[in-house]
Structure formats: C-alpha cells, structure tokens
Structure 1
C-alpha cells in the first residue's frame, strides 16, 4: 500500500468537505440543526490528518526494520525515525526535491526507494558518493583506491528467521567521519555472482569471484548493508538515484523485544 498517497487522498477529501462547509453549507443551516455525519466526521479528522501528513512528509517518518541486513546496527523489529528534510525538502508522493539542503555523506544510514520497485523502502549505509570508485574484494572495502580501516571487534551471533543461530565476526569499520560495526562471515563466498542483476550503469562495474569494483555514476549512491554477507544491496541490484532518497535514519524509538534499544541513536 502506498501510504503517503492514501494519506494525501484523505487529506484532499476531508479538506474539501471542511472548506465546502466553511464557505457554503454552514450558512444554509439553521442554528439548531446539527451537522450531517458526512460533514461532521471529515471536519473532525481533517486537522489530525493534516498534522500527520505534514510531519511524515517534511519532518520525520517512522519505519520498521523487516530484515537482518543492517545487523548489528539495526535489529529486526526496530522501529526507527527518519529525518525527511536533512537531504532536502521533497514534494510528498512524487518525491521531487524542491529545496536543496545537505548531501548524503559516507557512513550515514539512509532510507531510499528500492530502484527495482520504488514502492518498497530500503535502508542501507551510504558507502560510495557520485564519482567514487568502490571496491570490495576478499571482503575488504576500499574507496578511490584507499583501503578502509577495519578492526576485529570479537565474535557475534544472531538468530536468522527464527530458525538457526548464525555465528560470524564483528568488525569496527571507519568510513569518512563515521565508525560503526559490521558483520563478516568468512565461510560465505566474497560475492554471489549468480545473484548480480543487470542494473542501470552495470557497465561501470567489474565482478569476479574475489568481489567487485564499481564507479558510482553522477547523481547516484552506492549502498551496503552492515551485515555484509546477509544483505541484498548495491553489489547486486545497483546504484541508488538521488531522486529515490527518502531520508536519514537517526533514532530507534521502539522495539517490542528489547526495550533497552529505545532512544538509541543510529550511528
């Protein structure tokens, strides 16, 4: 369901009825005659819908993490808040930027519309900016020929799909001004070549069994999940166009399974 579109339609319908009543209908009613239900209910809901629409469209929007691709930063079941204006003010529904502000930086966690199906929202970490050359070979990341610093930070285990424990290694990675934890499972191949799609600007990338090298085209970004061997990301389906950006994830506001995560900032 396209919730922003549904919200916009409700806003237009209730707002139109409110305006129609304000300009015409109420002047034709006697003082002792109650409003009909089809006027009363829309008028009551209109201000609530307006506030929710403005908050979600221009300030913050809530999301729920559905998969483990961003473990250990984000866990399945985390409810997060996304800043909708830090990368620019966009028109609701069509997502067209009308006011330019900040540009995404390497290491930031960003929500965006999945390039292959814009009705689906994805969340990953920004790794490559327009013009960058991103390489990930033998599970080691480099940007523009400079290896990214990575320090072993112990072992890590988590439950996948509620069925099995996954045992892996946790590393601290340093990209730009950011440092964060990632997971790497040495038992999984460097890249699943059979899973690489034919995406726009595919010619900018070179894949082999050791990994890949990609040059990020203008107006696009390269995204990776922190759970490197458990993430479907730019390695497989390509670059994220600027017009697909939704916002910057900044806080976990709820998790039913772990109340201790409430209020954690997203690094």
Structure 2
C-alpha cells in the first residue's frame, strides 16, 4: 500500500507541475511577450519568412487583443477577454510611434498581422507613383541597390518570392529594387519594389481618431491599410487591436521546419527589428 501511495503521490505531483508550468507560460505569453512566426514575405527585407520573434506586449498596454488565441482549440482572444472589447481603450496604454513594427489583430478576421505603422490618427496618407506622401509631403527616399534572394520555396507554406527581374528558375537570383525610406520623426527603413502595381497609386486616406494606418515594407507584396476592409484588405486598425511591438528576432530558418538546422540563418539570431 505504501508503494502504491507513493506512486499515486508522484503522479499527482507530476500533474501539478505540468499545470503550474502551463499557467506560468500562459501568464507570461498574455502579459509580457508573445511568440510570433513570420509566415509571409510582406515585410521583407526587415522580416523574412521563417523569422521567429517575441512581441513586446508591454509596449502599448493591454486590451482584449493581448489575450492569446488558441486556434487549434477554436479559442479566440475575445472568448477569453471579450469583456475588454468595444471601447477602443487600453489598460496602462501608451501611444505607438510612427515607424514601429507592430503585430495586431485584423479588425474583421481576427488574424494576427505584422506591419509597419505609417499613419497616426489625423494623418492623411497617399501613395503616388510608388512614393509615400504623409500629410501632403513626400517622404525622403534614397536608392539602396537591390535585395537579392534565392528563388526557391520558403518556410512551412513553401511560398516562392516575387521578383522584379522577371521569371527566374529555381535556384536563381530573385532581385527587387531597394530604397531607404525616412519617415517624419527620423525612422529609416528599407522598402522593396517589384514593379508597377495598382497600390502604387492610391486615394488620399485620412486616419480616424483612435485608429492607425499600416503598410508592409515589401510594398508590392503586402495586404495592408491601402486596401479597405470591405475589399479584403486591412483598412484602418483600432488602437485596441494592437498586440505589441516587434523588437528583436530571436531565431530564423528558411526551411520547412525549425529542426532543419542547415536552413538556419544564424546571422539573424537576436537581430534588432528596425
């Protein structure tokens, strides 16, 4: 009986340890940092497919979007923290800065997106001939050569990049023109160009109070605020939909799985997101 009791106690202690570990991990993810895997190329070359980063949830305070969605179980953030939804405010909230790279919840689908903050409340935003205009003024652009990557399947979704230099065979060099864009306030970052696209010329958008305008750095391969929500885009993003700021890449792999060590990009480990 004593042996059986010891075994029973050991099982109970093991279960308690697992439960405590899960609770601690859940609290850590909800309050402090959320892991995020880059699935697409909309933020190249700032973020590449297969970059793994932690999102700083403390940067802008907390809202319903701070709670994690557990997709495999069909649990949405609103199922957990829906009582915080609807007033577009945040607990311990602070305003984001123009140029921040931010993970946010799509206002309609609830999917997590990562883009760069371009337009603040009250700003007017327009793109003319591929040049960004903020409040009527063109932002500064400087040519910066080309971004070159191998034309091949990338990441778990096996996506192939789009190239400015025309059709490219597998293993060939896929290039895009790169420019350095300087936003008001001084944030500099690279943007890529693939060719003339419909989103290189947009109407003038006025960002409503309490909302933000986001764009991808890979401008010709990004679904973002340039496309209204009713047309399948992102549109304006409410303050409460912000999850957090992407500060640093901790790991990166160009392969289908992080276990494929030969696909690791060690030069991107612990790289700051600018």
Match runs of 1:139-154 below 5 Å: 139-154=130-145
Query: What residue number does 1:205 align with?
Result: none
CA contact (8 A) 2:63 2:240 kept: no
Helix, strand or coil at the partner of 2:271: coil
Match runs of 1:121-160 below 5 Å: 121-158=112-149, 159=151
**How far does residue 52 in structure 1 lie from its aligned partner after superposition?**
0.7
Query: What residue number does 2:202 align with?
Result: 211
- Please list every run of 5 or more consecutive structure 1 residues that lacks an aligned counterpart in the other structure: 1-29, 192-208
Q: Provide closer, same or farther for how the CA distance between residues 76 and 32 of structure 1 changes in structure 2, counting only shifts above 3 A.
A: closer
Q: CA RMSD in A?
A: 2.3
CA contact (8 A) 1:138 1:211 kept: no
- Please list every run of 5 or more consecutive structure 2 residues that lacks an aligned counterpart in the other structure: 68-76, 153-158, 162-167, 228-232, 254-263
Structure with bigger strand share is 1
Distance 1:155 1:31 in 2: 70
Query: What residue number does 1:168 align with?
Result: 176
Query: Quick check: 1:241 aligned with 2:274?
Result: no
Query: What residue number does 2:156 align with?
Result: none
CA contact (8 A) 1:134 1:214 kept: yes
Normalised to the residue count of structure 1, the TM-score between the two structures is 0.75
CA contact (8 A) 2:124 2:206 kept: yes
Helix, strand or coil at the partner of 2:191: strand
Q: Which residue of 88, 102, 105 maps to 1:110?
A: 102
Distance 1:221 1:100 in 2: 19
Alpha-carbon displacement from aligned partner over 1:212-262 (angstroms, at most 9, x marks no partner): 210011111100000000111111221111121100000000013311100
Query: What residue number does 2:212 align with?
Result: 221
Query: What residue number does 1:67 align with?
Result: 40
Query: Quick check: 1:58 aligned with 2:31?
Result: yes
Number of corresponding residues:
219
Query: Quick check: 1:33 aligned with 2:41?
Result: no
Normalised to the residue count of structure 2, the TM-score between the two structures is 0.73
Query: What residue number does 1:83 align with?
Result: 56
**How far does residue 32 in structure 1 lie from its aligned partner after superposition?**
8.3
Q: Provide closer, same or farther for how the CA distance between residues 216 and 38 of structure 1 changes in structure 2, counting only shifts above 3 A.
A: farther
Helix, strand or coil at the partner of 1:156: strand
Distance 1:98 1:77 in 2: 31
